[in-house]
Every structure is written in structure tokens, then in C-alpha cells.
Structure 1
Amino acid sequence: MSDLFDCMLIQWPDEQSAFNAAINENPANAGPSQGGRRKRSLVNYSKLWANGRSLKIAFMDTPPAEHKQKIIDAACRWLPYINLKFEFVDGIQGDIRISTNTGENSSMLGTDALLIHPDWPTMSLGVKPDHEDFEVIVTHEFGHALGAMHEHQHPKANIPWDKPKVYEFYRNREMNPINSEQVDWNLFTPFDTLEAIYTDYDRKSIMHHPVSNDLTLGNWENKINREISKKDKTLMRLLYPK
């Protein structure tokens, strides 16, 4: 059975604080105005960085030069499609703070990173540089850091999951087992964000986990996507227009 990405998308649990941080960073996160007034909703809003700004990205544990450069190269795959700049630094002073000393791959979603204690990482990259899909995983995590959700949780994905098998698989796997609640959050729960900022469901998205046929009903699977898809590019240009 092929595993899915070891990726945990993390969102700040206090919705009001997350909403305030998103709106303070980028008022457009509140969504389009209606009748001269901007609609504000704690459910239906975005967590995008202010368009045109420079994001400082800190390496908290200073990985070896080759390891660090591979992370930078993977992150910069997004730059042609966004109106943001990346400034990579060592230390703990950063909008996005990376730890490579953990055993997991995870990221805060967009502006939720602003709510994390400044001494703590906002992104964990436990994947090792010699992993065959190192570049894919790092690119995927930076997609979350830019505010992109998991594509397999698109409201129109309709993946025929065999949920009991999925729960059992993740509960019993040897590396980084996760409970049913974490499975629900990272696989099954559709995202609910501004309809104006997401495109149609995209099975080729780099934000889509690979899906094993062993974990679905019938004959449904999705191989690993190693490239930023055409629709990924369209979405990012929509989120961060130049």
C-alpha cells in the first residue's frame, strides 16, 4: 500500500484570533465588499499575506548548506506565480520559521503563522534531502504557508474514501501514526474559503496528496504530483496578482 504525504496542515484553533490576524495583515482576506460594505465572516475568509510584501523566512536550526539550499530552491518554485518576495535568513526572526529537526512535515496555514510564539517554528520539514520526493514535499508545505489548502479537500473533490480502512491505516502505521480526528482534519473535511479564490478541483495539483486505491472504494487513485500544476499557477496568480 502506498502512503500519502506525511503532511499536517495546522490552523490556529481560535477562529477569532486567526480572523483578526488575517484581516490585520491583509484586509482583502475579508472577501469582496457587498453594497459598499465589506462582508466579514469567521467561516468564509482567507489567510493570505499582504500582496507585494517580502516574507522573511528563517532557518531556526541552521541546516547544512546543501540541505538549506535544497529547501530554498523548492520554496522558490512558487515565486514566478506570486507577487511576493522571499528573504531567507538564519535565526528565529522570521514571518515563516523553519525547523528541520522534527520527524514531521507540517506548516501553519498562511497568516496563522503570525500567531505562533516567536521562538517556535511555523513550519517543520522533517523530510531528509536524500528523499526521492524532498522537493515535492517542501514545495507542498510552502504552498500551505502561502495560504493554499489541501486540494484533496476541495469541496468538489468527492473522493470515494474507504474511511474505516483509512483510519486503520493511519492509526497503525509505524511512522507518525495519527488518530481519527487528525485524519478527518487533513483528509476528509472539505475546506470552506472564499469561492472567488479557488479554481475547480485539480487532481494534478501539487497540493493534492497521493491517494492509494487501497484506501478508496471502487477503482479510484491519484498518483503523486511532482510539478506545480497549471491550475496551481492560475490560483497563485489569482491570490497574489502582479
Structure 2
Amino acid sequence: MTRRLCSLPRQPAPSFAAGLTAERLGALLAGRRMWVNGTVLHYCFLDAGSDASVIPVPGTGEPRRVPWAGSEAQREVVRECFREWRGLGIGVRFAEVGDRDEAELRIGFQTGAGSWSAVGREALSVGRGERTMNLGWDVTAAGERGTVLHQIGHALGMVHEHQSPFAGLHWDDEAVYAELAGPPNFWSRQTTYTNVLRTLEAGEASGSVWDPQSVMALPFGPGLVLEPERYRAGLAPSGTPSPADKEFGLRWYPSAGCDRPAALVPFRSVPLGLGPAEQADFTVEPSETREYTVGTFGEADTVLVVFEERDGEPRFLAGHDDGGCPDNAVVGVRLVKGRRYVVRVRLYSTWGSGETAIMCW
């Protein structure tokens, strides 16, 4: 029996400047969706008031209003799955909020709209009135907990494991198209290509070795994979984060250490000394209230994010990703005397001298 599968919406291909080295391009592909470590991802559940979509009824085409709200039992499954990911020891935390304007992740339960999520930082480009994640069927049903864990994996920046270039899967393309065009998925050819048949770039994959037990792999029945022969009977991932998933999560989001971040003092540059995918954290406690500029220096691709600490929790203020550009990451932000701020910088790659620094002024 064919299961209902994750249906990520098609996204435009990333655009980078011409002439980038393979190493630099690979680093950009690998990290462009990932959050800076130490981020608190706030999530909210969309309510039953005005949150709904008007969709055609299958077979008749008549419009009907389908709400985005889910039951409390479904919400509790999602909360448990956030706790399970956090329990792996990753350096990203999750916090439920009631105000969608405070949430990076906005979760709906629209029946019939498929299950999907924005991948990592793609959520930041989704309008505040829109979902960044949808769970399109009852996730309290037996065997459906994996659907939620899978979508949270996407929210953390992970992609479909069965599309890894290291999987070596040779699909029977037309059989896959035919299978997923029928119930319960009713996918178009484009949706099937986007979520199954398209092979990812090496830099996009979660690792250099394919993991068929990853929670980011989808289950498939027999007759869809031609080679390797051992998968002709189908793919049956466990539906929970595998050891390789945990390794990936801790590589990008290592557990926070006990060391207090270094202070970033206005008009005093600090060398970064980072390697690819490494991160440096700083605190800023301004002596006066005014507009400040925080920026990086050097021939490097970086992500720079400024947070304000509120009740001991970092809340996003401003950020800039200069990946693939000749300019450096720079943000302008108003800092208030008496408050504490956290600046996080993650490196994609360097070129030239490789010397990088950060300064606040």
C-alpha cells in the first residue's frame, strides 16, 4: 500500500555569482539553509479563527473552506517531536509561542494539503500570515509520528535523504510517476520529480554516505527502484532520527559549551579564525543607546545574526548572509543601553588570505 509522502513545494534554484570555485560553491550549498547555532526557533500553531484555505473538492471542483487548525492531540504530538529532536543534544532549541509575529515556524494542519515544511532559513522568507509547515493528515494515527519528525528535520535545514547523490538509486521513473499520481498522494509529475526523482547536488546532501534509515528518507513500495537490487523490494526507513541524523544535527548545531561568549567592544575588531561551517559568538552590552553597525571583514562568505536577550532567551533582531558575494556581511541595528545582545557569525568559506574579523561601531 502506498503511503502518504512529504510534498515539499518547488523552490527556485539558488543563484550564485559566476566564477565561484567548486569548494566555495559546495560550502554555500551545504550551509545556505542552516540556522546559526544557538538559535531558539519559536513555533506557533495556527488557530481555527481566520486561518483557512479555499480549495476545490476533488471530483467536483466546487470550492470549500478548509481550516488550518489542528486538534490538541495533534499539537501534543508535534510538541513531543520537538522535544525528541532537542533530546539529541543539538544546540538549537524550540519554544512554543502564541503570537505568530513572534514565530519563525508557523504550523498548520490543513487536511488534504499534504505534509511539507520550509527548509531551514527558507522559513524567514515566508509571509507572517502564511504557514511554514503543514501536516495534512492525522498525525496521531499509528505510524504517523515519523511525519512530524521528518518535517521538523526540514525545519532544521535537512533535505530528502533518498535524493542524495550518494544513494546510487536508479528509479523506474515512469513507475514512480504512475504510483504517486494515484491515491493517496495524487501528485503531479513536477511534485514527484521535486520530491523523489531529482538528484541533489553533493553540497546539499546531509552527508557523504547515504543513510537509508534516516528520518529524512521516505518509504517506497516494491517495483520503483531498479538498482541497487537489494532495494527492489522497497525502502523502509525507521521513521525516527537515525545515528547519522544525530551526527548531522550535532555537526551543524553542536551542544553549547559552558564558556561565556567574548565581548564585542565598539570600534575594536576581533579576529575570527574560523574554519568552514564553524561559528563564533559574541556579546554586546552597549554603553549608549544609538544606531550601531556590526560587520565582518576579510575575503569570506559568512552569515551574521544579531539577537537581543529577553528573559535570558535570544530573540532575532537582524541578520545578513553575504554568501557568494564580494561584499561582507553587515547589519545596522539600534542597540539600547542596559540590554544585552548576542552576535553570531558562521563561516561558509574563505579565499585570499583567509584572515577574517568582526567589529561593532
Query: Secondary structure of the residue that 1:7 maps to in structure 2?
Result: coil
Question: 2-side partners of 1:45 and 1:230: how far apart?
Answer: 20
- Over the aligned positions, Cα root-mean-square deviation in angstroms equals 2.6
CA contact (8 A) 1:136 1:226 kept: yes
Structure 1, gaps ≥5 residues long: 20-33
Q: Counterpart amino acid of 1:101?
A: Q
Deviation at 1:40, TM superposition (A): 5.5
Candidates 109, 115, 123, aligned match of 1:113: 123
Asked if 1:44 is matched to 2:29, the reply is yes
SS at match of 1:44: helix
User: Within 5 A, what are the aligned runs for 1:187-198?
Assistant: 187-192=196-201, 194=203, 198=207
Which structure shows the bigger proportion of residues in helix conformation? 1
**Cross-structure match for 2:250:** 237
The worse-fitting range, judged by mean Cα deviation, of 46-55 and 128-137 is 128-137
Q: Which amino acid aligns with 2:98?
A: D
Structure 2 counterpart of 1:64 = 71
1:211 counterpart = 2:259: no
Distance 1:214 1:91, change over 3 A: farther
User: Structure 2 matches for 1:153-164, cutoff 5 A?
Assistant: 153-164=163-174
Alignment CA distance shift 1:48-1:222 (3 Å): same
> Whose RCO is larger (CA < 8 A, sep 6+)?
1
Deviation at 1:137, TM superposition (A): 0.4
Query: For residues 133-166 of structure 1, what are the alpha-carbon distances to aligned partners after superposition, in whole Å with 9 as ceiling and x for unaligned?
Result: 2211000011011000111011111223111111
CA distance 1:127–1:222, shift in 2 (3 Å): same
Q: TM-score, normalised by structure 1?
A: 0.82
How far, CA to CA, are the matches of 1:215 and 1:238 in structure 2?
33
Out of 229-238 and 89-98, give the one that drifted further: 89-98
Q: Which runs of 5+ in 2 are unaligned?
A: 17-22, 48-68, 256-361
Instruction: Report deviation, 1:221.
Output: 1.8
Q: CA deviation at 1:130?
A: 3.5
Q: How many residues align?
A: 222
Deviation by residue 1:112-146 (Cα, 9 ceiling, x = unmatched) = 11111110001001221432122110000110110
SS for the counterpart of 2:97 is: strand
State percent identity of aligned pairs.
Answer: 26
User: Which residue pairs with 2:9 in the alignment?
Assistant: 10
Task: Determine the C-alpha separation between the residues in 1 that align with 2:196 and 2:205.
Answer: 23
